[in-house]
Chains A and B, each alone.
Chain A
Amino acid sequence: MKRFEILDPNSIEETCELLARYGEEAKVYAGGTALVKLMKKRLVHPSFLLDLKGIQGLHFIREEEDRLTIGALSTLREIETSPLVRQRIGVLGEMIHTIGSVQIRNVGTLAGNLCLADPASDPAPLLIALRANLKVAGSGGKRTIPPEEFFSDFYETALLPEEILEAIEIPFLPQHSGAVYLKHTMREAFDLGVVGVAVRLDLERKDGMCSDVRIVLGGVTSTPARLQKVEALLKGKWIDESLIARVAMTASGEVDPIQDVRASAEYRREMIEVFVERGIKNALERAKGGVS
């Protein structure tokens, strides 16, 4: 690793000032699991690391009216095992359980995962499907970015150079709504997904028509891909197995999958159809059963 200094800002304001001062030379970090790995490979080589762990008020998981808010310092494992998360947005814990290993989840944070913007991020597609909001703080004040607009390219986000991700807000699912995250990996555990599919499906009433749906893919393109054509085919319809099978067949036409060490583009196309079908089915079952 290239040598660097660690700075310990005490506040978000101080962090933003340091970022403004050092620009590309500085990187913020919390757990560091991803950043240290990239630094060891010399893919990034900052001169300054800004350790966020000394900032008060960034380490929390709390309920606010109709949503959960998660601070930037909350580790993946804390969120995965939080009774509040399990009770309110169970699918979030299920998704996090598929990330890395316990040792990584004990240290790495949800905010860090998002800011890395790995195309195979598991949280990214699910947070888009769940209509989350990302709370960002910078020298120019605070703003909210929907995750759909947050990921701009491979490992690139919409964060300005002196901004940091402060918290993640996730609305509770309404009644008759179901959400699911499915991940297709080559190994059973501890692997990045070849395809990740997040589905949130809302029914008008139990056994009613689909009033709204979001289907988002991870791991197949540079940024998470929302399948808006498939969504449009489901919206306003009474969904049954044959409709699901029909629309799933169109799913891979909406994206141009990447090819990498884990899978070919052709294989990804096939798996997109399989997992979109499965994802819609599971989300529908949950929407009918009322389990998130």
Chain B
Amino acid sequence: MKRQLELKVNGLGYSLEVDPHRTLLEVIRDDLGLTGTKLGCGGGECGACTVILDGKAVKSCLMLALDARGKEVWTIEGLSRGQALHLLQQAFVERGAIQCGFCTSGMIMASKALLDENPRPSEQEVKDSLAGNLCRCTGYVKIIEAVLSVTNTEKR
């Protein structure tokens, strides 16, 4: 039986009807058309589906959509302002922290959740926060450099 799901995504309020077995990832991608969040392993291991839920990074593939009732979700689509990229996005581009791009939205959302909570993380803290995000192209060094480069700028 479908149930009512009220939530906010990237600052916009939505009122949806969803089946209880659907994941937050499915609703974000299929119902809202926000396909920047990726389905990788579907088992919580790769981190490509990372979104920010009430300020915390979560894996949307393992979360039932109804568990986001009344909550605020941010996805990669909510970061840029028109053509102006978010500082993290800009840093990933400039540092070559992207190759195929499949892990990127998850990497950036996990990094954003970290920086929102801890604006000056150590390298170890960045690594801890990205331990649940797999990248099979770049080898992490550039990704970590990109995140750390943002921590050194005053404005974010």
Chain A positions near chain B (C-beta within 8 angstroms): 1-6, 32-33, 36-37, 39-41, 49, 51, 53, 77, 97, 100-104, 106-107, 189-190
Which applies to chain A's interface (DSSP): helix, strand, loop or mixed?
mixed
The answer to whether B62 touches A107, judged by C-beta atoms less than 8 angstroms apart, is yes
Encoded as 1 (CB less than 8 Å from any A CB) or 0, chain B from 29 to 63 comes to 00000000000001111010010000011110011
The answer to whether A3 touches B62, judged by C-beta atoms less than 8 angstroms apart, is no
> Who on chain B is nearest to A2 by CB?
B21
CA distance A33 to B132 in the complex (A): 14
Known contacts A6-B64, A36-B23; A104 and B1 CB within 8 A of each other:
no
The answer to whether B19 touches A37, judged by C-beta atoms less than 8 angstroms apart, is no
> In angstroms, how far is the closest chain B Cβ from the Cβ of A158?
27
Query: Taking the complex as formed, is B81 at the interface, i.e. its CB lies under 8 A from any CB of chain A?
Result: no
Query: Taking the complex as formed, is B131 at the interface, i.e. its CB lies under 8 A from any CB of chain A?
Result: yes
> Who on chain A is nearest to B23 by CB?
A36
Interface size on B, residues (CB 8 A): 30
> In angstroms, how far is the closest chain A Cβ from the Cβ of B128?
7
> Who on chain B is nearest to A187 by CB?
B131
> In angstroms, how far is the closest chain A Cβ from the Cβ of B37?
13
> Who on chain B is nearest to A48 by CB?
B20
The answer to whether B59 touches A103, judged by C-beta atoms less than 8 angstroms apart, is yes
> In angstroms, how far is the closest chain B Cβ from the Cβ of A103?
5
The answer to whether B64 touches A103, judged by C-beta atoms less than 8 angstroms apart, is no
List of 4 A-B pairs having minimum Cβ-Cβ separation, nearest first? A101-B132, A189-B131, A106-B56, A1-B21
CA distance A103 to B110 in the complex (A): 8
Which applies to chain B's interface (DSSP): helix, strand, loop or mixed?
mixed
The answer to whether A103 touches B57, judged by C-beta atoms less than 8 angstroms apart, is yes
> In angstroms, how far is the closest chain B Cβ from the Cβ of A193?
15
The answer to whether A103 touches B47, judged by C-beta atoms less than 8 angstroms apart, is yes
Query: Taking the complex as formed, is B151 at the interface, i.e. its CB lies under 8 A from any CB of chain A?
Result: no
Query: Taking the complex as formed, is B155 at the interface, i.e. its CB lies under 8 A from any CB of chain A?
Result: no
> In angstroms, how far is the closest chain A Cβ from the Cβ of B2?
11
The answer to whether A36 touches B63, judged by C-beta atoms less than 8 angstroms apart, is yes
Contact of A104 among B20, B59, B67, B114 (CB under 8 A): B59
Which of B42, B47, B67 counts the most A-chain CB atoms under 10 A from its CB?
B67
The answer to whether B58 touches A103, judged by C-beta atoms less than 8 angstroms apart, is yes
Which of A36, A100, A102, A189 counts the most B-chain CB atoms under 10 A from its CB?
A102
CA distance A6 to B2 in the complex (A): 10
Known contacts A6-B3, A104-B44; A32 and B64 CB within 8 A of each other:
yes
Known contacts A2-B21, A36-B23, A101-B47; A190 and B131 CB within 8 A of each other:
yes
Query: Contacts of A41 on B, CB cut-off 8 Å?
Result: 43
Known contacts A36-B62, A77-B56, A106-B56; A100 and B132 CB within 8 A of each other:
yes
Query: Contacts of B114 on A, CB cut-off 8 Å?
Result: 102
Query: Contacts of A3 on B, CB cut-off 8 Å?
Result: 19-21
> In angstroms, how far is the closest chain A Cβ from the Cβ of B81?
26
